Amino acid sequence: MNINEIARMAGVSRATVSRYLNDGYVSEEKRDAIRKVIERTGYVPSSQAQTLRTGKTKLVGVIMPKINSESVGRMVAGISEVLKDSGYQIILANTDNHEAEEVKYLKVLAEDQVDGIILIGTVFTPSHLKVMRDLRVPLVILGQSLEGYSCVYDDDYHSMLEMARLVLTHSHRPAFLGVTEKDESAGAARAKAFSDACAEAGIELPKGAMNSGEFTIDSGYSMAERVLRRIPDVDAFVCATDNIAAGAMACLRDQGRSVPGEVQVTGVGDSRLAHVVTPTLTTLHYYYRTSGAEAAKLLVSMMAGEDVVSREIKMGFDVVRGGSTL
């Protein structure tokens, strides 16, 4: 079945069928005739032919740091919903937090002629910046802010500042369990907010109060264990993620420390884990699904040639009170 047969069966010209398939003007009578033939035959236009004709693949590449991350999953759900409604399909590229893989996928996706790319960003190396400058397709960065590019990101600094202030109303020996500061959002911004809140409260942090690890429960456990050795009277763990916080709570439980009676614990992400640990976790809610949808909307407008100036969207947040703080 091809476009010529569809035209013959519908009693119209090949050009009329082509206009119909590409959303051009076709009279209601002819449009109805073509639609009925397509429904009856199950005809699907050749994607290769459409690409040659329009120069568009209707494919979008989404580069993500972790396929098993709940927050990333929520972002991708938002992206997928908008792109599907706009007639695009997604190619997912999982990097497992490897910087070189991000650079490789930026190159590969552009070479494979996707119409646009969403990069769920972690860090930006000189290699990233060079490849991004050379891209000939629209790019939207999700989860990080980078000058000169369209970005959708969370207010990591002010959200963590508010969380730290909440904890410090009942804490005098807090510690921070974070991630690499090469990650500007989850790492550097959240760590700085904690430090600033402590300075604001007149708390001088002892050696070993600031810690950096991985985005995992095991890393949270190890960092908490290390802090408890160095600062035995620590009374709060402010954590960069819910996973890290869950690890810290497990460590405290194993060492016979009560939460929040002896040590308060907070996280970031409002994940399902935050609501099943005991006690439930005080955490920051970020609008991950909405941020994914906003990134997709930005990209769709860029692919349509509507947005030529880079735009930034900073998302809001909520503090979700659980039982892990006083």
Q: Is the pLDDT of residue 137 over 80?
A: yes
Are 181 and 143 within one domain? no
Are 307 and 213 within one domain? no
In a domain, 54, yes or no: no
Are 178 and 279 within one domain? yes
Could you tell me what percent of the chain has a pLDDT over 70? 96
Are 280 and 162 within one domain? yes
Are 161 and 275 within one domain? yes
Are 243 and 309 within one domain? no
Q: Are strands 139-142 and 236-239 parallel, antiparallel or unpaired?
A: unpaired
Are 163 and 246 within one domain? yes
In a domain, 258, yes or no: yes
Q: Is the pLDDT of residue 28 over 80?
A: yes
pLDDT of residue 52: 43
Query: Model-level pTM greater than 0.75?
Result: yes
Provide the CATH number for the domain around residue 77: 3.40.50.2300
The Cα 140–Cα 145 span in angstroms is: 10
Could you tell me what percent of the chain has a pLDDT over 90? 83
Are 204 and 179 within one domain? yes
Domain that residue 11 falls in: 3-45
In a domain, 89, yes or no: yes
Across 34-48, 74-88, 128-142, 239-253, least confident range: 34-48
Total domains in the fold of the chain: 3
Are 273 and 171 within one domain? yes
